[in-house]
């Protein structure tokens, strides 16, 4: 017998109908098949349960397609991912941006940013959006290459405007 918590645990592999060692192509194929069936615009079942199933497929795919999130999920499950996401949100932009050449701005400062004479590349992100973290890493790698030619800034959508 499984402990109650394990029996109720979310299994992203089961949701997508793939093996634990599924590769990127298998994940994408399963995701596409399920989203075609379950998408609210095409699914005849308009119940909340159907919408929740669609959201579960989206969550599963967003986690398993990202190698780092997949590794964390495999180690700690959904609860581990949620704890990591919560820590990331609490740490805010410092977790992603320690480069003093990348300016941190708030929503109310957007107008000031557009009035600057130098062009600015702005990265808008949210810690709860799984794609933000890998994109932030890429942004950090690119930023030094443009130092002097472009101003670099980031805006966290986690904070109130």
The predicted model scores a pTM of: 0.53
Burial class (CB in 10 A: 0-12, 13-18, 19+), 43: middle
Distance CA 114, CA 133 (A): 25
**Model confidence over 74-95: pLDDT tens digits?**
988 888 777 766 655 555 544 4
- Report the alpha-carbon distance of residue 88 to residue 161 in Å, rounded: 19
pLDDT band of 57, cuts 50, 70, 90: very high
Q: What is the pLDDT of residue 101?
A: 64
User: What is the DSSP pairing of strand 151-156 with strand 102-105?
Assistant: parallel
Burial of 88 per CB tally in 10 Å (0-12, 13-18, 19+): middle
Q: Is the pLDDT of residue 106 over 90?
A: no
């Amino acid at each position: 017998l499984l402990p109650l918590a394990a029996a109720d645990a979310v299994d992203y592999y089961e949701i997508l109908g793939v093996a634990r060692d599924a590769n990127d192509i298998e994940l994408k194929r399963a995701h596409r098949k399920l989203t075609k069936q379950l998408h609210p615009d095409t699914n005849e079942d308009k119940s909340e349960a159907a919408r929740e199933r669609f959201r579960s497929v989206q969550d599963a795919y967003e986690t398993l397609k990202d190698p780092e999130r997949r590794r964390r999920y495999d180690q700690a499950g959904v609860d581990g991912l949620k704890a990591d996401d919560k820590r990331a949100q609490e740490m805010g932009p410092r977790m992603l941006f320690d480069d003093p050449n990348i300016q941190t701005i708030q929503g109310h400062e957007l107008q000031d940013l557009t009035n600057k004479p130098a062009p600015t590349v702005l990265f808008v992100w949210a810690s709860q959006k799984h794609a933000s973290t890998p994109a932030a890493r890429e942004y950090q790698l690119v930023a030094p290459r443009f130092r002097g030619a472009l101003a670099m800034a980031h805006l966290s959508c986690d904070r109130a405007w």
